[in-house]
Structure formats: C-alpha cells, structure tokens
Homo-oligomer: A and B are copies of this chain.
Amino acid sequence: MNFVPCDECALRRMARFKQFTLPELAFVRNLKSGQIDLPARHTIIRPGQFEGGLYTLYSGWAFRYRLTETGQRQIVDILLPGSTIGLQQLVLGASDSGVESLTPVTLCVLSGRTLDDLYAEFGALTGAMVLALLEDERRADARLALISRMTAPERLAYFLLELFDRLQALGMASDGWCYFPLQRRHLADLLGLSDTHISRSMRELRRRELASISLNGLRIVDRTGMSAFSGYSLPQTRSARLLL
C-alpha cells in the first residue's frame, strides 16, 4: 500500500476514534516512521519476544495469542484496524503473547520517541489511552467467562500460586503460608467450576502434596511442584503499580 500520511488516515475520520487537535496530530505524524505490508499468516511478534516495535494496525486482521506450557495456542484477542500492537512489551518489558496476521496487513510503524515523551507532552492523550485500555480489559473480562483449557486441578493450582505471589509481594504471606478467606463457592465462580469439583481438585492437590487449605489458611507445600503442575511462573516485570 502507498504511504498514508496521518492527516489522510482513513481510520482517523471515524467517529469511533478520538479526534485529535492539530498539535496532537502533528505529534502522532512525527511518531510514524514508516509503513509495512505483510502477507497473511505472518508472525508480527513472537511470543516471549522482549524487544520489538510499536505498530498500529492500519488495515487487515490479526490476532494476539499465548502458548500454554503444553504448547497449546490460546488466542486472546482479534485485532482489527486501529488496534495498537506491541504496547504490552514496550510498557511491561516482556510479553508472553505473540501476534500473527490473518489476512494481508498494513502496519504503521511508530518509533523514535519513547512513551514517556508521549505522556509528558499530552496529558489528555494518555487519558484516552487509559480509556482504550480499560475498554480492552473489559472485553477481556467478558471473554473470561468463555474460555477454558486446563483441567480443574491445574486451574486451581495456577490460581492459588498466582494469588500467593501477589500476597507475598504485598508482604501478606510468609514462608509458604497465607491467610485465605475464599470459600469453595468463590473458587468455583472464579475458575468456572462447580463447588463440588473444587473439593475434588483440592483433594488432588493434597494427595500430590502440593498445597492445602485449612483453617482460613492456604499452605503451599511444594512450590516447585505447584509451578510444574500448573505451568505458572512468576512474571518478571519492572513495573511499579500506581497507588492513588
């Protein structure tokens, strides 16, 4: 496709997108350093890749996916024109999701400036970005109710380990033990299982001597085992959360 200057961007005219002021537009135009055409079925970002560009999908379809420990593919989102690609690894450092084209695509390549420049220059812009992110998150939330892949005991182990790590990061867990107020019903609604099957799964984790819940407390007996069993491992991000 011929080079499309941002001023003539077909997408930008749609009501669905934030209308930019002139200086904002100038800023974005400056950001755009090129354009790439890729065929269908082409890998745009490999899962696990650290460094990579920041793109806007100008035309065509793509999808974002992750690979499970067992090598299965879980598609996480369908990307349509207007989607930003590569923001996750740019901001979070690493990304375990990859992106692949479904049709021939045209990408706008954004570069030269860092995101910090962007934040500093346009407060309102970042506002819109937060909004876009929240919207995506909500869609992800909605889809949460739809997906499955691992067996019940694995899901449970995964969740318990993830939660335990969050608590540990907050100083709310010590040496394989933490307070645990969730009941079977909560775990069931969380993992999309029945409460009776949560019982069975907990028994399985106990039997394997991985973890157990008792007296409002969670005990991680074998962290390595849990990790291996569930495929969960600590994400290493250099992030600092915002505390309002």
Residues of A in contact with B (beta carbons under 8 Å apart): 9, 11-12, 14-19, 28, 31, 40, 54, 56, 61, 63, 65-66, 68, 72-76, 78, 80-82, 84, 87-88, 91-92, 95-97, 102-103, 110, 115-116, 119-150, 155, 158-159, 162-163, 166-167, 169-172, 181-182, 186, 189-192, 235, 237, 239-244
Contact (Cβ within 8 A) A146 B148: yes
Residues of B near A121 (CB, < 8 A) are 123
CB distance from A138 to the nearest CB of B (A): 7
Contact (Cβ within 8 A) B126 A126: yes
Contact (Cβ within 8 A) B74 A144: yes
Residues of B near A158 (CB, < 8 A) are 146
Q: Which one, B73, B82, B147, contacts A243 given CB within 8 A?
A: B82
CB distance from A4 to the nearest CB of B (A): 13
Residues of B near A75 (CB, < 8 A) are 186, 189-190
Contact (Cβ within 8 A) B80 A134: no
Contact (Cβ within 8 A) A241 B170: no
Contact (Cβ within 8 A) A12 B134: no
